[in-house]
Amino acid sequence: MTDLERRQDRAPVPSGWDYAPAPEARDIVTLEDRYGVFIGGELVDPRSGEYFPTLDPSTEEPLAEVAQAGTEDVDLAVHAARDAFENGWSGISPAERAKYLFRIARILQERSREFAVLESLNGGKPIKESRDVDLPLSAAHFFYYAGWADKLEYAFPNRRPKPVGVAGQIIPWNFPLLMLAWKVAPALAAGNTVVLKPAETTPLTALLFADVLRQAELPPGVVNIVTGDGRTGAEIVKHENVDKIAFTGSTEVGKAIQRELAGTGKKLTLELGGKAANIIFDDAALDQAVEGIVNGIYFNQGHVCCAGSRLLVQESIYEPVIEKLKKRLQTLRLGDPLDKNTDIGAINSKMQLDKITELVAAGKDEGAEIYQPPCRLPEKGYWFVPTVFTNVAQSYRIAQEEIFGPVLSVLTFRTPDEAIEKANNTPYGLSAGVWTEKGSRILSMAQKLKAGVIWANTYNRFDPSSPFGGYKESGFGREGGLHGLEPYLELDESEARGG
């Protein structure tokens, strides 16, 4: 017997096909104990003197302390942005502006592993998503808008495009760096300067981005970053020297901002929540559709404004779809966000976990049937098992309210008209999915669905050239594409009509 045969003899066929741990090394990230605010090109101590800890939601361990920027800090940031706008940035040639954006994009690519690890550490999302989605898309947004910076006259012919001034940008915690990119890239391409506030639970990649700006030698004050909670956001919104507010977050805060800005003449775009229908017709390729359902609601733990959180299945295929879906859920791996095999990471915060838990309890109380695959949750950290509710009535809270977690509500329909009626029966209108073999049906559904983004035979696909945004309580204004430049420009109206 050869050595090899002998060894094989002693190594029995594995009893299971469990994945061995494959953790991404975290030592590429260097964290400070404490971070100030990024104003005028430097990280400075906050005038407020206040700090709060930011955590790793998968362990509840503190990662660092960040500033709770106050009135004076926001005021300094806005002044730095105003100064940079008036004394340089708005005056430099558009081709020069583009160079900075290209540089930022390239540096993000070069440092993408560092950013991906930090994004997963601070936000709880699986490394394979931050590595393969958040980072490439963030860099792509800067590349895309870099290309527009010196072509605004062609993009908006005869409308004399001019920058708006200082943009106040408030972003959420579900895609921290990507939302930063969606907001900062078009603002800079159009010649504005920025005061950005990341969400309180996920400030670290925005603070690392400050380092990218220094590396790119962006003139001081063009982008300022202040950390803090909603109070800091409210200070930006009401600051008289801010010309435009871009907000992504809850409908509740979006409405409050709109009320606050009424009559001030400040420009506003709002990207708020959603309760999207993902509609599966009986002629759809079922295995692909099941992958689309899973990607639609369990991607990023369901912390996605355009998540396909209401599944509408045609009655004739209800049983096979649910059976396949349950089987597929049993294969999802929940755990360490930094493990390359992880599909479902940690819930972003205790607050969000409480909200999900409460809505799931409401679903059970109201009479829906719950399915959760067998799954061991880690002892520390914030976790929620991927969940499917069947027997859901349209009136249930789980069919109406945004859960923003890995929880799917399943409804059925018989005819396309019924699918449209149910899909549109929501105060939101951000996105929808349609799965069918028929091209004509895709087109007719797309016309009748009241949603800003409609995916056909796919879900949660993003591209910087494609505008994103909603109707109704999902907000207004578009981000991405040519449309995404408009909120950051003053455009000559009369010329447009005349020309």
Q: Which of 226, 204, 215 is nearest to 29 (CA)?
A: 204
Q: Does 404 bind ligand NAI (CB under 6 A)?
A: yes
Instruction: Identify which range of 12-20, 243-251, 309-317, 488-496 contacts ligand NAI by CB under 6 A.
Output: 243-251
Nearest to 187 by CA among 213, 168, 172: 168
| Residue of 209, 120, 225 lying closest to 173 (CA atoms) | 120
- Residue of 36, 57, 220, 233 that binds ligand NAI (CB under 6 A): 233
Q: Is there binding between residue 460 and ligand NAI (CB under 6 A)?
A: no
Q: φ and ψ at 140, to 5 degrees?
A: -60, -35
Please report, as residue ranges, which positions from 286 to 305 form the binding site for ligand NAI (by CB under 6 A).
Answer: 305
Position 398 contacts ligand NAI (CB under 6 A): no
User: CB 400 → ligand NAI: shortest distance, Å?
Assistant: 12
Identified binder of ligand NAI from the candidate list 59, 120, 169, 174, rule CB under 6 A = 174
Q: Is 355 in the site for ligand NAI (CB under 6 A)?
A: yes
How many residues form the binding site for ligand NAI (CB under 6 A)? 27
Q: Which is nearer to ligand NAI, 273 or 481 (CB)?
A: 273
- Kindly give, in sequence order, each residue whose CB lies less than 8 Å from that of residue 44, ignoring residues fewer than 6 positions away: 36, 37, 38
3 state SS of 340: coil
Minimum separation from the CB atom of position 228 to ligand NAI (A): 7
Count other C-beta atoms under 10 Å from residue 134's C-beta: 25
d(CA 38, CA 365): 47
* Segments of 319-470 assigned E as strands: 369-371, 387-390, 407-413, 431-435, 453-456
Residue of 114, 271, 402, 473 with catalytic role? 271
Which residues have C-beta within 8 Å of that of residue 253, sequence separation ≥ 6?
A: 230, 233, 247
Query: Residue 200 interacts with ligand NAI (CB under 6 A)?
Result: yes
Determine, following the binding rule CB under 6 A, whether residue 234 of this chain makes contact with ligand NAI: yes
Alpha-carbon gap, residue 311 to 28, rounded angstroms: 40
Which residue stretch of 252-260, 291-299, 376-384, 412-420 sits at the interface with ligand NAI (rule: CB under 6 A)? Answer: 252-260
CA angle in degrees (0–180, nearest 5) for 61-66-67 = 150
What's the Cα-to-Cα distance from 162 to each of 67, 183, 186, 189, 323, rounded to whole Å? 34, 17, 13, 11, 55
Closer CB to ligand NAI, residue 113 or residue 355? Answer: 355
Site for ligand NAI in 143-172 (CB under 6 A): 170-172
Query: Percentage helix, strand, coil, to 5, in the chain?
Result: 45, 15, 40
CB nearer ligand NAI, residue 94 or residue 230: 230
Least distance CB 301 / ligand NAI (angstroms): 12
Rule CB under 6 A: say whether 427 interacts with ligand NAI.
no
Does the protein bind ligand NAI through residue 230 (CB under 6 A)? yes
Q: Rule CB under 6 A: is residue 248 a binding residue for ligand NAI?
A: yes
Selecting among 24, 114, 129, 305, the annotated active-site residue is 305
The answer to whether the beta carbons of residues 70 and 47 sit under 8 Å apart is yes
| Closest C-alpha among 366, 428, 373, 418 to residue 392 | 366
Q: For the CB of residue 305, give the shortest distance to ligand NAI in the complex, in Å.
A: 3
Among 73, 336, 343, 402, binds ligand NAI (CB under 6 A): 402
CA distance 211 to 177: 13
Among 180, 199, 207, 410, binds ligand NAI (CB under 6 A): 199
Question: CA–CA separation, 474 vs 472, rounded Å?
Answer: 5
Q: Is 176 in the site for ligand NAI (CB under 6 A)?
A: no
Nearer to ligand NAI, 311 or 407 (CB): 407
Is 352 a binding residue for ligand NAI by CB under 6 A? The answer is yes
Question: Is residue 306 annotated as a catalytic residue, yes or no?
Answer: no
Query: Residue 271 and residue 81: Cα distance in Å, rounded?
Result: 23
**What does the alpha-carbon distance between residue 269 and residue 55 come to, in Å, rounded to a whole number?**
30
Asked if 256 is part of the footprint of ligand NAI (rule: CB under 6 A), the reply reads yes
Active-site residue flag, 271: yes
Q: Which stretch binds ligand NAI (CB under 6 A): 36-44, 80-88, 225-233, 283-291?
A: 225-233
Q: Report the alpha-carbon distance of residue 4 to residue 145 in Å, rounded.
A: 58
| Catalytic residue annotation | 271, 305
Q: Which residues bind ligand NAI (CB under 6 A)?
A: 170-174, 197, 199-200, 229-230, 233-234, 237, 248-250, 253, 256-257, 271-273, 305, 352, 355, 402, 404
